[in-house]
């Protein structure tokens, strides 16, 4: 099993990303923090063995994009549709993450990919009730469409949609939504661009 690695992300434009970081940060600083998180995430994916690497992007590529990625535009109105379409772009087994967990390592992604050898799905719960990773051995839009997103019960709803499948659950991670989250994640990921950006915040 050598699944595609998917990243779903927004171009880090001030006022359009990480709006929950303002205040205390300005929209420009919030965008810089988001750009550092995205760069760390993409670098991690680039260093992880994969059949393909796809970035499903809302916006335009920037200097934070390393070589080796196929860039596809996000398609769909809601996040559930955009996630389903990102999986469709993979055309086979895939592991998807967002841009809010810069503490993720290649070892963590490799472990998630390996679990698809024996499981139908891999689920990485987030501390806020969502999820930071979703892997599907046989992506099917019905596994995602209609799942309510950006709610405290999003992860629970997604897990219910996977009912009947063999699901491997990973460790719970904090994703960066608030300033407190950002401080906590920066402490967990010393040496990253994200930690450096937070140190300059």
For position 200, what pLDDT does the model report?
75
CA distances 29 to 33, 35, 38, Å, are 6, 10, 14
For position 114, what pLDDT does the model report?
97
Look at the alpha carbons of 16, 127, 35, 43 in this order and tell me if their dihedral is positive or negative: negative
For residue 100, count other CB atoms closer than 10 A to its CB: 24
- Residue 201 pLDDT grade (very low, low, confident, very high; cuts 50, 70, 90): low
Is a pLDDT exceeding 90 seen at residue 1?
Answer: no
pLDDT digits over 101-146, tens only? 999 999 999 999 999 999 999 999 999 999 999 999 999 999 999 9
pLDDT digits over 66-107, tens only? 999 999 999 999 999 999 999 999 999 999 999 999 999 999
Mean per-residue pLDDT of the chain? 97
Is a pLDDT exceeding 90 seen at residue 154?
Answer: yes
For residue 165, count other CB atoms closer than 10 A to its CB: 16
Helix-strand-coil percent breakdown of the chain, rounded to 5? 35, 20, 45
Tokens standing for 165? 């499948």
- Please indicate whether residue 1 or residue 85 has the higher confidence score (pLDDT): 85
């Amino acid at each position: 099993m050598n699944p595609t690695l998917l990243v779903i992300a927004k171009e880090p434009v001030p006022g359009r990303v990480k709006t929950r970081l303002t205040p205390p940060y300005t929209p420009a600083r919030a965008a810089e923090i988001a750009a550092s998180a995205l760069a760390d995430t993409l670098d991690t994916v680039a260093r992880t063995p994969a059949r393909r690497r796809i970035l499903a992007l809302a916006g335009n590529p920037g200097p934070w994009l390393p070589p080796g990625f196929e860039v596809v535009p996000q398609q769909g109105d809601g996040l559930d549709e955009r996630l389903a379409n990102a999986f469709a772009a993979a055309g086979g087994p895939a592991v998807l993450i967002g841009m809010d967990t810069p503490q993720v390592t290649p070892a963590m992604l490799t472990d998630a990919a390996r679990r698809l050898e024996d499981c139908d799905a891999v689920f990485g719960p987030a501390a806020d009730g969502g999820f930071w990773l979703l892997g599907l051995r046989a992506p099917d839009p019905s596994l995602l469409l209609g799942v309510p997103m950006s709610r405290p019960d999003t992860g629970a709803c997604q897990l219910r949609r996977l009912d009947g499948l063999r699901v491997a659950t990973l460790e719970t991670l904090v994703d960066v939504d608030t300033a407190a989250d950002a401080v906590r994640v920066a402490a967990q990921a010393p040496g990253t661009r994200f930690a450096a950006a937070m140190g300059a915040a």
